[in-house]
Amino acid sequence: MAEHAPYEFKNPVARWLESRLPILSFTKVHLLDYPTPRNLNYFWTFGAILAVMLVVQIVTGIVLVMHFTPHVDFAFDSIEEIRRDVNYGNIIQKMHQVGASMFFLAVYIHIFRGLYYGSYKPPREVLWMIGVLILLVMMATAFLGYVLPWGQMSFWAAKVITNLFSAIPFFGESIVTWLWGGFSVDNPTLNRFFSLHYLLPFVLVGLVFLHIWALHVPGNNNPIGVEVQSGQDTVSFHPYYTMKDLYGIVVFLLLFAAFMFFAPDYLGHPINYAKADPLVTPTHIVPEWYFLPYYAILRSIPDKLLGVIAMFGSILILFALPWLDTSKVRSANYRPIYRQFFWLLVIDSIILGIVGSNPPEGAWLTIGRIATAYYFLHFLVIVPLVGFLEVPRPVPKSISEAVLPPRSEFRAAE
Partner 1 sequence: MSRSISLLAAALLGLMVQLVPALAADEKLPAKDVGFSFEGPFGTFDRAQVQRGYQVYKEVCAACHSMSLMRYRNLGEPGGPEFPPEQVKAIAAEYKVTDGPDAAGNMFERPALPSDAFVKPFPNDNAARAANGGALPTDLSLITKSRAGWSGSLKTLYTTQLIKGMGGPEYVYSVLTGYQDPPPELAAEAPEGKHYNPYFENGHWIGMPPPLTEGGVTYADGTQATVDQMAKDVSAFLAWAGEPKMEERKRIGFQVMVYLLVFAVLLYLVKRRIWGRHEP
Q: Which residues bind partner 1 (CB under 8 A)?
A: 38, 77, 80, 83-84, 88-91, 94, 235, 239-240, 243-244, 246-247, 250-251, 253-254, 257-258, 260-266, 270-274, 336-337, 339-341, 343-344, 347, 351, 354, 358, 362-364, 367, 404, 406
Tell the smallest beta-carbon distance from residue 373 to partner 1 (Å): 13
Cβ nearer to partner 1, comparing 94 with 369: 94
Question: Which of 36/141 has CB closer to partner 1?
Answer: 36
Cβ closer to partner 1: 141 or 358? 358
Measured from the CB atom, is 95 or 135 closer to partner 1? 95
Cβ nearer to partner 1, comparing 169 with 406:
406
Measured CA to CA in angstroms, residue 276 lies from 74, 262, 272, 329 at distances of: 11, 26, 8, 52
In the complex, what is the shortest distance from the CB of residue 136 to partner 1, in angstroms, rounded to a whole number?
28
Closest approach of partner 1 to the CB of residue 341, in Å: 7
Q: How far is the CB of 98 from partner 1 (least distance, A)?
A: 12
SS3 36: strand
**Least CB distance to partner 1 at residue 244 (A):** 5
Radius of gyration for the alpha carbons in the chain, expressed in angstroms and rounded: 24
CA distance 349 to 355: 10
Instruction: Tell me if 223 sits within 8 A of 41, measured CB to CB.
Output: yes
Closer to partner 1 by Cβ: residue 33 or 125 = 33
Shortest approach of partner 1 to residue 266 CB, angstroms? 6
Phi and psi based region of residue 276 (left: phi greater than 0; alpha: psi -120 to 50; beta: remaining)? beta
**Burial code of 181-204, b = ≥16 C-beta within 10 A, e = fewer?**
beeebeeebbeebbeebbebbeeb
Q: Output the smallest distance, CB 101 to partner 1, in A.
A: 14
> Measured from the CB atom, is 320 or 344 closer to partner 1?
344
β-bridge partners, 275:
151
Distance CA(65)–CA(262), nearest Å, equals: 25
Q: Provide the β-strand partners of residue 35.
A: 236
Alpha helices in 117-171 (DSSP H): 125-147, 152-163
The maximal CA–CA distance of the chain, rounded, in angstroms, is 81
